[in-house]
Amino acid sequence: MPDTPGSLYRVAEIIKKYDGNINRIQFDRRIDPGTVFYEVTVSEESFKKISQDLEKIGYLQNSIKPVSFLKFCIYLPHRPGALYEFLGLTTSADANISFLDFDDKGRHPERLTVSLNLEQGAVVDQLLNQLKSLYRIEIIEYDTTGKQLDDTVFYVRYAQSVRELIGEYEDTFLLSFLADTNRIAQELMNRGCDPKQVFESVLKTGQTLKATSGKNFYADVQKFQIDDDTTLFCFQVPCGGNIFLIRSGDKVLMIDTGYGIYHSDLITMFSRYGVGDVKKITRIVVTHADADHCGSSGFFAVPVLMHQSTLEIIRANNRAYGSRSDHSSLDEFYTKMINLFSKFNTPENIECISVHYGTKRGIFPVIGAITIGSVELEILDGLSGHTAGQIFLYSRDQGLLFTADSVINFVSLSKERADYSSLAAFLVTSVNVDSDMAKKERKGLLELAQDTDNKLLSSEMRCLICGGHGAVSVIEGRELVPFGEIEHYVP
């Protein structure tokens, strides 16, 4: 909308004319002085009429047009009307002036410095030719990629940055994504957050994933010999959750899969450690529905075992689904955003578990079991603290406890991984959908690990706590301490 008095009133008048009810409105000059978001409940026929009326007056945005940026200096003649004549040319070119600097008492009394945003890139050359024929002109910057746009067209600049991450999606999709981002920016702003930080955090999430894949991929790797024929690998990738492989003979069990964007990098890395033949992976266990733990699972043509609630979260595309905070627009947006940026790939062959066996390990019901070689892992039902449907894997005899995101050795995280994790924590305010249950889960898992440690003392074994992030660790006193050697992998 034009940044002029009465613009908001004019839109409200059109919506009222067709009996529309405004559910949400968001406008903040600090973000973008020319963009307003409305959500309206209205009949389908009235929606069409509202859209038509808004389009007639040039208010309705239904595409993301590339915008050129031009910064230059011209030397105006020192006479009345000179600036007026220049502004007539820029106005004819539909140029939005974002910066203007002129002072006839300054060091350069005839020089006018101008920054323009032009909605029609094709008219830039025409405008320049007009200016060159009338004025002495010096081009300072000329950009058609959108990288130099200023905040007077904030959403256009933001949309172009998003497009660099997701590729050439239709404008309708991109506009919907902008509206979703604006909604959570509004919600977090109402909680005291800086709205610009919201947009920056969204972009930083996608940019970090893109920047750490391919030739820039790396991982920290731990390897443990469980018995003569069975080896456990932990792969701590740049962003997101750990990936575990248990190899026994010619079979491999995979526990969590990492982001989809890392899939090809994972296969190359697995080959380095002798587990690169994906045909040897006989089954995948997904601990929970977050993209950093299951986003790559659809790339593997093997059965994927998960809790029924995990499948429901994937289908709903909302990590808070099935929890007491399933109304949270923050969790819903974050799920859609991270699944998009990380190239989430939903598996086809899914096996669900949710029936209790009637036995417990500590406070956790046993709902299944899975065997690889000599290792039998009981599947424990979580308490829906981190997400609904999060499960844990446990072997008392082998001293293995896979705790997903309920127990993490945060101290072992590198600064880069910690910084990335903080983006999610900011955007959803809490990564746990039920903080009380999350605390109870953590306490119960640590007690189970300590009890297992005590039972294994005579055999000089330790209970390995295989967290969803960070290093595989053991309990020393009241602290988690990384166990074994950690090797740094680069392609």
Residue 213 is classified by DSSP as S
This prediction has a pTM of 0.82
- pLDDT for residue 293 is more than 90: yes
d(CA 212, CA 215): 8
In this structure, the answer to whether residues 330 and 261 fall within a common structural domain is: yes
pLDDT at res. 104: 67
* Closest CA relative to residue 338, chosen from 360, 351, 319, 322: 319
CA distances, 301 to each of 247, 252, 272, 347, 351 (Å): 18, 13, 21, 8, 13
In this structure, the answer to whether residues 199 and 227 fall within a common structural domain is: no
- pLDDT for residue 304 is more than 70: yes
pLDDT at res. 119: 64
Alpha helices by DSSP H, listed for 22-95, are 44-56, 82-92
Domain final position from 115, 143, 171? 143
Domain count, the chain: 4
Alpha helices by DSSP H, listed for 93-170, are 124-134, 154-166
- pLDDT for residue 67 is more than 90: no
pLDDT at res. 397: 92
In this structure, the answer to whether residues 369 and 330 fall within a common structural domain is: yes
Pair of tokens at residue 111: 């020089």
Alpha helices by DSSP H, listed for 191-318, are 195-211, 263-272, 291-294, 308-316
Least confident of 61-65, 110-114, 416-420: 61-65
Residue 62 located in a structural domain: no
In this structure, the answer to whether residues 380 and 320 fall within a common structural domain is: yes
pLDDT at res. 69: 73
pLDDT at res. 357: 74
pLDDT at res. 110: 79
pLDDT at res. 120: 56
User: pLDDT of 45-56, one tens digit each?
Assistant: 999 999 999 999
- pLDDT for residue 457 is more than 80: no
In this structure, the answer to whether residues 48 and 180 fall within a common structural domain is: no
More confident residue, 124 or 225: 225
In this structure, the answer to whether residues 247 and 383 fall within a common structural domain is: yes
Residue 31 located in a structural domain: yes
pLDDT at res. 325: 65
Residue 402 located in a structural domain: yes
Residue 149 located in a structural domain: no
In this structure, the answer to whether residues 238 and 330 fall within a common structural domain is: yes
Q: What's the whole-number mean pLDDT along residues 461-483?
A: 94
In this structure, the answer to whether residues 313 and 371 fall within a common structural domain is: yes
Q: What's the whole-number mean pLDDT along residues 253-274?
A: 96
Longest dimension (CA), the chain: 97
CATH number of the domain encompassing residue 139: 3.30.70.260
User: pLDDT of 317-331, one tens digit each?
Assistant: 999 998 876 557 899
Least confident of 122-136, 294-308, 402-416, 438-452: 122-136
Residue 63 located in a structural domain: no
Residue 117 located in a structural domain: yes
In this structure, the answer to whether residues 127 and 164 fall within a common structural domain is: no
Q: What's the whole-number mean pLDDT along residues 436-440?
A: 96
In percent, the amount of the chain with pLDDT more than 70 equals 95
- pLDDT for residue 252 is more than 60: yes
Band the pLDDT of 486: cuts 50, 70, 90: very high
Band the pLDDT of 381: cuts 50, 70, 90: very high
pLDDT at res. 109: 75
pLDDT at res. 99: 80
Domain final position from 165, 188, 211? 211
User: pLDDT of 345-379, one tens digit each?
Assistant: 999 999 998 777 779 999 999 999 999 999 999 99
Domain final position from 171, 192, 211? 211
Q: Are 265 and 491 in contact (CB under 8 A)?
A: yes
CATH number of the domain encompassing residue 447: 3.60.15.10
In this structure, the answer to whether residues 268 and 400 fall within a common structural domain is: yes
pLDDT at res. 3: 79
pLDDT at res. 95: 77
Q: What's the whole-number mean pLDDT along residues 241-265?
A: 96
Band the pLDDT of 303: cuts 50, 70, 90: very high
Residue 152 located in a structural domain: no
pLDDT at res. 66: 64
Mean pLDDT of the chain: 90
Residue 467 located in a structural domain: yes
User: pLDDT of 332-343, one tens digit each?
Assistant: 999 999 999 999
In this structure, the answer to whether residues 123 and 162 fall within a common structural domain is: no
Q: Are 267 and 276 in contact (CB under 8 A)?
A: yes
In this structure, the answer to whether residues 324 and 310 fall within a common structural domain is: yes
- For residue 448, the enclosing domain spans 216-489
